[in-house]
Amino acid sequence: MVLKLPTPTAPFRIGTRGSPLALAQAHETRARLSAAHDLPENAFEIVVIKTTGDRIQDRPLKEIGGKGLFTREIEDELLAGRLDIAVHSMKDMPVQQPVGLLLNTYLPREDVRDAFISPMAKSIAELPPGTTVGTSSLRRKAQLLNRRPDLEVVEFRGNVQTRMKKLADGVAACTFLAMAGLNRLNMESLPATPIAPDYMLPAVAQGAIGIEHRGDDMRAAGMLEAIHDRATGQRLTAERAFLAALDGSCETPIAGLAELDGGTVHLRSEILRIDGSEALSDAASAAIEDGAEMGCQLAKDLLARAGPDFFSWREH
């Protein structure tokens, strides 16, 4: 099939949130598409969509609807035909897509690790008892309280720049960000220390950019095929199958990381009580083509170990 390529007068519309990190991810997508199809960058238009998650900054995500808060308005514009593709941070994406949309293109994955950010300490171990830590992530909160129950955790939402201002204002002594975001924003000057996944297993799909398009848009599918990173897709297949089987959301402290070794995918996983009082972990390996089945089974094994009351704190 011969693709009808976009032009500066009829550009390909790339939907994104408006945060500096979201824009950096959209610009990376545009640059890769431009290079892959030998087109000028002005043949692609970046369209900023303000989402509910961006508008409401004073409440925890679980109180206002969870992960879909960062995607719903963008997906509505995509379904309406006012966008050609949408660029997302994969760790923000629900495991179910709206009918009519496909999420099957991934850019090469960045650093998966969390970053510890503090002007007063280089690591979690250095924090004095009672130190106030800011995070909006239930996973990071649960993992931190599991390792350091003597610390205090406060809600800490906003983009990188907002969180750094909160640190400077003394709202908390330290916080966490994703290394991937810092790298994409070229923020090497921040006092950031990477945290080994053995100590703090990252969120499912952390560090990965996903690109969504309409299922019936063959032009978008053909253009995206040229920039899809197969290895990232194979890793996320296992991780997101694990997440889906756990009914994962922003109300659930879940961590998971898949890594490839030749034709094998290895998946490490963890689920926690929200207060950090208990953490269960497991790992499995399988042939890459069996990654989704393995992820699902690993989730079932963890749930069987956890018992019926492990997630009893969840709001239904």
* Angstrom distance (rounded) from CA 158 to CA 176: 12
| Residues 282/254, Cβ–Cβ less than 8 Å | no
Q: Give, rounded to a whole angstrom, the gap between the first and last alpha carbons of the chain.
A: 48
Catalytic residue among 54, 84, 92, 217: 92
Alpha-carbon torsion, ordered 227, 230, 234, 237, to 10 deg: 30
Helix, strand, or coil here: 70? helix
SS3 content of the chain, % helix, strand, coil (to 5): 35, 25, 40
Q: Which residues contact 293 (CB under 8 A, 6 or more apart)?
A: 241, 286
Identify whether 38 is a catalytic site residue. no
| Residues 33/44, Cβ–Cβ less than 8 Å | yes
* Angstrom distance (rounded) from CA 34 to CA 129: 51
Run of H or E including 145 = helix 138-147
Tell me which residues are annotated as active site.
92
